[in-house]
Every structure is written in C-alpha cells, then in structure tokens.
Amino acid sequence: MINRRDLLGWGAAAGLTLRTGRAAAEAVVGDDGLHKQDWFFDSFLEMEPDLEEAAAEGKGLMVLFEQAGCPYCRELHNVNFERPEIVDYLTRKFLVVQLDLWGSREVTDFDGEVLEERELAGKWRVNFTPTTILFPTAAAGAESREKAEAFRAPGYFKPFHFLSSLEYVGEGHYETQPFQRYLQDKFAELEAQGITPDVW
C-alpha cells in the first residue's frame, strides 16, 4: 500500500522541489581521510547497543563502510547527503555509524566478538565502498548480523535508489517484498501520476 508520505519522498527523489526544515550540512574530511557529517552517531562501536539505542528512539541503524580516497564515497557525501529530503529522512529514521574499511578501531559485533574495523568488514563480506547496511528497529536483540540485517547497498546508489532503500527499510516494506518489487511498485505509482523519476 502506497501512502502519502511515500509519495512526498518519491516526488523529491524524482527531481521535484521539496522544502524541509533541515538543511544539508557540508561534509568535511576527517584525520582518517573519511568524509564526515555532523549528524553521524558518536558511537562506542558496539553494534547491538547501538541498535538498541536507535530502537529506543524509534529508529533503525545504518552502518556505513567507507575508505579514504574513495570517489564514490565522495559522491555519496557531495550528492546524496546534499539533498535535504535524504538527510531529513535518514536522520529521522536511522542512527548512522561510519566505519573505515581498512580501519583498526575495535568494534563489538552483534555476536559479541571484538574485531578491528577491517576484520569486521571481512567477516561481514564488505568488499566495496561505500557499502550501506540497514538494520531495522525490529532487529534489536538479534544474535547476529545476519539475523539483524534488512538491506545492503554494496556500492554507490544514486539519490533516487538511495532514498528508496531507506524507505524500503524505514517503512517496513522489507518484511513483505524484495527491493526490486518495491522499486517496480514505486515506478508504477510515479508513472500513474505522470512523473518520470530522475534515476541517473
């Protein structure tokens, strides 16, 4: 079922103007070479407590793997995260934890294992950057990453598909249909309104 809030988000992703209360902040590059956003979650890098904290706020958890010098990571920040409709939806529905594909900070996995970021990336089979992994509110208490993960974008998604993936998990569509079916329904709904989304 497609609701009014979905259509507002879709219209914005299709290239329509959408005014929101939150302006996109300009990304800066940190000492680790990764682009930073002021709305990233200041995490102790403990996955299960992070997801529990997000769930307590009615949000899911996004784990974003990036690496220094990654042109598609830069694109994610300079294109996707410059769109207020994406930042508004993302910050309303998720806490975002950024990890370095080659980093050495210790992270506690959902199963309690403590690993360096680069080891966790290997364990989670993260091979590309950026890789966006979404964990829904309902996954709090899961015993493993496999049981908690609802969606993964292995690489850069353009704004339309990126916002669609957030909605797919944020609105619970992952529970009833695969992502491709969700996109087909979304395209059909936009087409019925005479809207051709800007997907490239």
pLDDT in tens, 147-180: 999 999 999 999 999 999 999 999 999 999 999 9
198 falls within a domain: no
Q: Which two tokens stand for residue 75?
A: 């694109």
pLDDT tens digits, one per residue of 47-73:
999 999 999 999 999 999 999 999 999
Closest residue by Cα to residue 149 from 44, 29, 85, 65: 65
Number of domains in the chain: 1
200 falls within a domain: no
76 falls within a domain: yes
199 falls within a domain: no
68 falls within a domain: yes
pLDDT tens digits, one per residue of 70-126:
999 999 999 999 999 999 999 999 999 999 999 999 999 999 999 999 999 999 999
Among 7-11, 57-61, 135-139, 151-155, name the one with the lowest average pLDDT.
Answer: 7-11
Query: One-letter amino acid identity for 101?
Result: L
166 falls within a domain: yes
142 falls within a domain: yes
Tell me which residue range forms the domain holding 95: 4-192
Residues 44-59 as b/e (b if ≥16 CB within 10 A, e otherwise) read ebbbbebbebbbeeeb
pTM: 0.85
User: Any idea what the CATH number is for the domain that residue 56 is in?
Assistant: 3.40.30.10
Among 3-17, 48-62, 146-160, 185-199, name the one with the lowest average pLDDT.
Answer: 3-17
